[in-house]
Structure 1
Amino acid sequence: MDRRRYLTSLGTAAALAGCAGRPRPGGTDADGTASASASTEDGGVAVETLATDLEVPWGAAFRDGDLYLTERPGRIIRLVDGQLEPVVEDVPVKAVGEGGLLGLAFHPDQPYAYTHQTYEPAGGGTANRLVRHDLNDGWAQEPMIEGISGAHIHDGGRLLVHDDALYVTCGDAATEERGQNPDALAGSVLRVTLDGDPHPDNPFDSRVFSYGHRNPQGLTVRDGAVYSTEHGPSVGDEINVLDAGENYGWPEVTGPSDDDRFTDPVTSYSPTIAPASAAMYDGPIESWRGDLLFGTLKSQHVHRVRLDGGDDPGVAAEERLFEGEFGRIRTVFTGPDGHLHVTTSNRDGRGSPVASDDRVLRVVPA
């Protein structure tokens, strides 16, 4: 299946405005908005600061109107009426390098949450696992999948509940050849039931849904299709549409290729920008509706992609939002009100934090 598309050089739908450079320590103006703004075809937008002083927020999910967040060192917190409250303060994780407490998702009907964790197995080393938490029992945790290869880099970590299934991104854990092994959980995107079993429609009679992945860290859904964003090496960051049993090429290829063994991305980015999340927007900013947005770590901006229609999507237009204003951007997601939310990742060892980092921001019409 050929999904090769070339970037279209179009004028941006929203020209960035606002202050140049990083916001001043504190990160907010007197009215509580962050120190940045943008204009769109619909008018202006503003960035509100919802929370400050976090330590590498990673997973984000809403339940009953409250925002829950994971922090990579091993904490789960929630934002209630503008105040941060601890939920679990000592999740047993191995927070080394890019690992730790990562993705978060909630069961759609039952009092369960799911997290992706890097941990140290009994025999030592580093591994990843999928854990279910019982919300009626103080978030007590039950491992559902253990022993996924882990490392100080490329641990994947994003979770998505879609169509009565749970999708889990697994990086190659710094060992490239895992990507071309459909029997390995690392270097794959998994699809499991909400109880953690292999999904009955999976292609390999295992938990593996797709393979040939280096370090996918974004998952979202558009018109029933699952999209992912993925880190390349120095070239070839990717946006992919995930299909059962498809091979996305790593490490044999990055970006599009002429090899029919591999499924091409919707688009790719060279040099890399480090996409770290994915969300489809359907909020109050009309000119963004239907667009794919993701945070970038290396390029420090929110990336907006207008996708064209059809069964074989391509890119109609793109733009960079808030470039350099907030530092490293990891997770973008939408809330019950449709507003875009953003977390910074400046305390992850690779950023230059200001006094208020890390933060949760919300983008609203001005």
Structure 2
Amino acid sequence: MRRRTYLQSMALGITGLAGCIDSPGRSTGATTTNGERGVRVKTVAMNLEVPWGAAFSSNGDLYFTERPGRIRRIRDNDHKIIADMTNRIAHAGEGGLLGLAFHPKNENLAYTYQTYESGGTLQNRVVRHRVSDGFERETVVLDGIPAASNHDGGRLLIHDDALFVTTGDASDRQRAQDVDSLAGKVLRLTLDGRPHPENPFDNEVFTYGHRNPQGLAFDEGTLYSTEHGRDVNDEINVLEAGNNYGWPDVTGKSDEYANPIATYTPTIAPGGATFYDGPISQWKGDFFFGSLVDTHLHRVRIDGRNVVEQERLLDGEYGRLRTTFTGPNGDLYVMTSNQDGRASNPAPQDDRILKLQPA
């Protein structure tokens, strides 16, 4: 049952059963997994335009960005546009309205990562919004992040009262090695936008030497990222303050730079990442990310800093997979990215948000 012929998914809480998993190596539908419990794929929303960042509020509402500049909310069976910023967002190539995160202590505040045009040039910035006021801008938390039509980073993650931000090299690779530049980095800020006091270079930079980091996820106090290589060596990295991850001098492992714990050649273009702690027992503690080029959901089991098991799920069934995240009950969600101009033939329902749960 391939992606192009599957026409029975329903939006907004109506379950579309894309297939149950029976046994290792054998699938009756969309995917296979090594485990005895079945998994079903439910379509939560469809007919979206390049969904990118996602965050749940404390009452279980799902908010997400669409790259052209909209924020949508799913509440029960109600799916609506909460904010339209398309006249202020530069949806140019990989740029646009990207990451989204809620303030951990004030849910009326949320952060987005935005590409915009100023003086004929592209820039990226992090903005804080008043949620109850239609996501009106409260303040610009950080501005002047270099932007381009490629390699804009854009992922936001809040952990332990710190805001982490991924930035790409904005198609100028030498910026990644310059610790005074905001490009090609993972940044760490306080929640009001100041450089975190424990940062290694007395500025916003947490780690450097990145090409285009796309996923961030914490597990037991350790920060992991996914990153796009050029022609070889997409990476999973463990991020530690002050480390240099080598771009553009090297991708993959070397004796001079911080080494990835996994690489992928041919490249698969890994997207947003999460650790799973939901009801599917065989996935507990595993690291998940979507693949944009190789069009599958990737599961990784990590023991310490060693990758001990990997598996491809939803292989080719839903096309390009951008963002992977977990919900309030631990369920795994995946966003497709087939309306971003890179997919050759998007399905009629694209783009979609999918939910993986026990059958």
Same-fold call, TM cutoff 0.5: yes
Asked if structure 1 preserves the Cα contact closer than 8 Å seen for 2:8 and 2:16, the reply is no
Unaligned runs of 5+ in 1: 1-18
1:82 deviation in Å? Answer: 2.6
Alpha-carbon separation, structure 1, partners of 2:151 and 2:336:
19
1:230-271 C-alpha deviation (Å, 9 max, x unpaired):
000010101011100100000000011122xx1001111111
Given residue 340 of structure 2, which amino acid in structure 1 is its aligned partner?
D
Moved more, 38-47 or 279-288: 38-47
**Alignment equivalent of 1:326, drawn from 308, 311, 318:** 318
2:350 match: secondary structure: coil
**What pairs with 1:222-233 in structure 2 (closer than 5 Å)?**
222-233=219-230
Question: Is 1:205 aligned to residue 213 of structure 2?
Answer: no
Deviations 1:162-214 (A, max 9, x none): 01100000000001101111111000000000001000000000000000000
Partner of 2:346: 353
Post-superposition CA distance 1:56-90 (Å, at most 9, x none): 00000000200001000000001111321111022
Contact 2:15 2:43 in 1 (8 A): no
Alignment pair present for 1:74 and 2:69: yes
Equivalent in the alignment of 1:362: 355
Separation in structure 1 between the aligned mates of residue 147 and residue 2 of structure 2, nearest angstrom: 39
Distance 2:112 2:237 in 1: 23
Cα distance between partner residues in 2 of 1:208 and 1:31 = 43
Q: Matched residues in 1 for 2:116 and 2:217: separation? A: 26
Equivalent position of 2:297 in the other structure: 302
The offset of 1:28, in angstroms, is: 5.2
Instruction: Evaluate the alpha carbon distance shift between residue 269 and residue 37 of structure 1 in structure 2; reply closer, same or farther with a 3 A threshold.
Output: closer
Contact 1:339/1:363 (<8 A) preserved: yes
Q: For 2:199 and 2:262, how far apart are their aligned partners in 1?
A: 25
2:96 paired residue number: 100
Residue aligning to 1:52? 46
Q: CA deviation at 1:26?
A: 5.3
Confirm or deny: 8 A CA contact 1:22 1:324 kept in the other structure.
Answer: no
CA distance in 2, matches of 1:37, 1:273: 18
Deviation per CA, 1:280-303: give whole Å up to 9, x if none: 000011111100000010000000
Q: Secondary structure at the match of 2:174?
A: helix
Structure 1 residue 317 corresponds to structure 2 residue 309: yes
1:96-120 C-alpha deviation (Å, 9 max, x unpaired): 1000000000001112100000100
Question: How far apart are the structure 2 equivalents of 1:320 and 1:137?
Answer: 41
* Residue in structure 2 matching 1:279, options 274, 280, 295: 274
Question: Quick one: structure 1 residues 23 and 164, their matched pair in 2 at CA, closer, same or farther if it must change by over 3 Å?
Answer: farther
Q: Is the 8 A contact 1:25 1:354 kept in 2?
A: no
Please give the alpha-carbon distance, in whole angstroms, between the structure 2 residues aligned to 1:27 and 1:125.
41
TM-score of the superposition, structure 1-length normalised?
A: 0.91
CA distance in 1, matches of 2:15, 2:340: 28
Equivalent of residue 154 in structure 1, options 151, 154, 158: 151
Q: 1:340 aligns with which of 303, 322, 332?
A: 332
| Alignment: residue pair count | 342
Dislocated runs of 4+, deviation >6 Å: none
Q: For 1:124, which of 120, 123, 127 is the aligned residue?
A: 120
SS at the partner of 2:272?
coil
- Say whether the 8 Å CA contact 2:33–2:311 is kept in structure 1: no
- What is the distance in 1 between the residues matched to 2:200 and 2:252? 23
Higher-RCO chain (CA-CA 8 Å, sequence separation at least 6) = 1
Structure 1 stretch 38-47 or stretch 213-222: which is displaced more? 38-47
For residue 234 of structure 1, what is the aligned residue in structure 2?
231
User: Where does residue 3 of structure 1 map in the other structure?
Assistant: none
Cα RMSD of the aligned pairs, angstroms, is 1.5
In the alignment, structure 2 segments of 5+ residues that lack a partner are 20-29
